[in-house]
Amino acid sequence: MYKLMLVEDEAIVRESMIHNIDWERYGFTMACACENGREALERIGSVLPDVVVTDICMPFVDGLELARHLQEHYPSIFVVILTGFSEFSYAQQAIKLRVHDFILKPVVPREFCAILEKLSADLDSRNSQRSSLRSLQSRAYQAETILRSALFRTILRTQPTADQVRRSAEEAGLQLSCAVYGAVFCQPQGRLEAATQSQHLQDAAQSVATRFPHCTAAVVEDVYPVLLVGGRTDEEVTSRCRDAATMLSDAVARLTGAPAATGIGSCCTGPGSLHRTFREAHHALGYAFTQPQRLLVDHLCRAAERSVTEADPLPSTQPLRQALADGNGDEVERRMQALFDELRHRKLHRDGCLPLLERLRFALTDLIPADGVSAAPLLSPTDQWLTLDQAQQELSQLAAFLLRLARTSEDDDPARLCVERAMGLIQQNYHDSAFSLTELLSLLNVSKSYFSSAFKARTGQTFTEYLTAVRMEKAKLLLTTSNLRTQEIADRIGFTDPHYFSVAFKRTVGKTPREYREEGR
């Protein structure tokens, strides 16, 4: 239904029109009726009608003055003038005000209803055109957004020429006319629904871009909201980048409910060098792994990292492993905290932390007995850790699990202790091709019959079956986390013959090592 406002100073005419016309039949509701133009002006802002039907001659504010006000402030409202023959000169003035229609007094219901039908049809037509225009604009915006995202990804991942960048930018509706540019990348730490993540991040980035001149927003790889900021000088662009980065960090943090880091690249000149500022801004995000800062300027972070890492190598994980082996909970906690504090102190880039964390992860998972795997905490893939805090939390949970397991084992029966120790020795010696049941029995100082019975009862496997299973699990891990050749993997897990390893792997896993590696990547 469309809303209609009636403005008529003659009470009889006004009441007659209100009660004698079936407004809803023609698609209208009587939003309000006013006695004069002044009252109409007072109420127009709150009512916001689609149509105003007004008399011309009225006290205080006449119909022409009302029409003039509507044309200036509410041009989308249709105005219909009620006029008598003696007021035709006024009607001529109304034409200049683009009045939609005229009705001669006295008002004939049939003629007035015909005008209502025409008004309703005209409003329908206008709204349909507006809807079509909005749809076209929306599709155009979506197309430009997709093209800009593709352009930004190309700049980040390749090194396009200046002409290639200009052509792609023009296709995306961008004019790269500034003397200087800088890039801002954002990395959300909170999670969004995958289906709508890119659009939400685009909206957040666009809300920031509109607040700066020569600023363009896009989302790269559905993950990184990116701003390309232009200006006349390095100083101007640097200042804008910092301000925009702060706003973008805040906007994404509000969206995801978690902190968001932003990386800033150094200024560049010309489209041909945009890849440099893009890569620097993207690289800077890696420092958010160890540094809880919102703004990360790449060249400053690199300098800080070098100043504390060139002197000495990364810390060893061996003291932590020894504390776990000893079952010393306080020492485990202290060693774990010291290791992660050292990484934070060094202000390392994420790429510098991951190798150490991968070694630590491997060392801890290596201590999980076979019958404890199902109960062990589930760790996220190493490359999905967004912050050092997340890595520390997950690895600390695993260390605590290992300690609880060790304490439980201490109070268990001799047979269980024997089996647990045997599994630990197998975990420690599986890589030794000469490791045998005879050597294990010697280390355990038990008879073959006692061990075989206890081991089979608690694991459901013989020594050989269990050793083979452990070696196969280690092989699967190396196949998916390293580039070692099959021969090298066989050697690392205790097989002297690569061919026999491949046969055993196929028999156990159901796939060749090569097939398993290809499926896992």
- Domains in the chain and their CATH numbers? 2-107 (3.40.50.2300), 143-284 (3.30.70.1120), 412-521 (1.10.10.60)
Least Cα distance to 260 among 306, 295, 228 occurs for 295
Q: What is the distance between the alpha carbons of residues 369 and 72, in angstroms, rounded to a whole number?
A: 81
Least Cα distance to 228 among 326, 333, 152, 121 occurs for 152
Least Cα distance to 286 among 241, 356, 351 occurs for 351
Least Cα distance to 282 among 233, 228, 322 occurs for 228
- The alpha-carbon radius of gyration of the chain (Å, integer) is 38
Report the pLDDT value the prediction gives residue 300, as an integer from 0 to 100: 83
pLDDT digits (tens, 9 = 90+) for 288-306: 888 877 778 888 888 777 6
Cβ atoms 400, 328 nearer than 8 A: no
pTM of this prediction exceeds 0.95 = no
Least Cα distance to 492 among 511, 509, 473, 507 occurs for 473
Report the pLDDT value the prediction gives residue 275, as an integer from 0 to 100: 94
Helix, strand or coil for residue 269?
A: coil
Alpha-carbon dihedral sign for residues 210, 272, 175, 168: negative
Alpha-carbon dihedral sign for residues 278, 281, 284, 285: negative
Burial 351-376 (b: 16+ CB within 10 A, else e): ebbbebbeebbeebbebbbbebeeeb
Cβ atoms 14, 35 nearer than 8 A: yes
Report the pLDDT value the prediction gives residue 141, as an integer from 0 to 100: 66
Report the pLDDT value the prediction gives residue 228, as an integer from 0 to 100: 96
Q: Can you list the residues of the chain whose pLDDT is less than 70?
A: 84-98, 135-138, 140-141, 306-314, 408-413, 520-521
Report the pLDDT value the prediction gives residue 322, as an integer from 0 to 100: 81
Least Cα distance to 282 among 233, 230, 349 occurs for 349
Q: What is the DSSP string of 453-492?
A: HHHHHHHSS-HHHHHHHHHHHHHHHHHHH----HHHHHHH
**Residue 289: both structure tokens together:** 């792994």
Burial class (CB in 10 A: 0-12, 13-18, 19+), 228: buried
Give the number of other Cβ atoms within 10 Å of residue 123's Cβ.
18
pLDDT digits (tens, 9 = 90+) for 58-113: 888 888 888 889 888 898 899 998 876 555 566 566 565 667 787 877 777 888 89
Burial 175-204 (b: 16+ CB within 10 A, else e): ebebebbbbbbbbbbeebeeeebbebbbeb
Report the pLDDT value the prediction gives residue 175, as an integer from 0 to 100: 87
Phi and psi of 244, rounded to 5°?
-65, -40
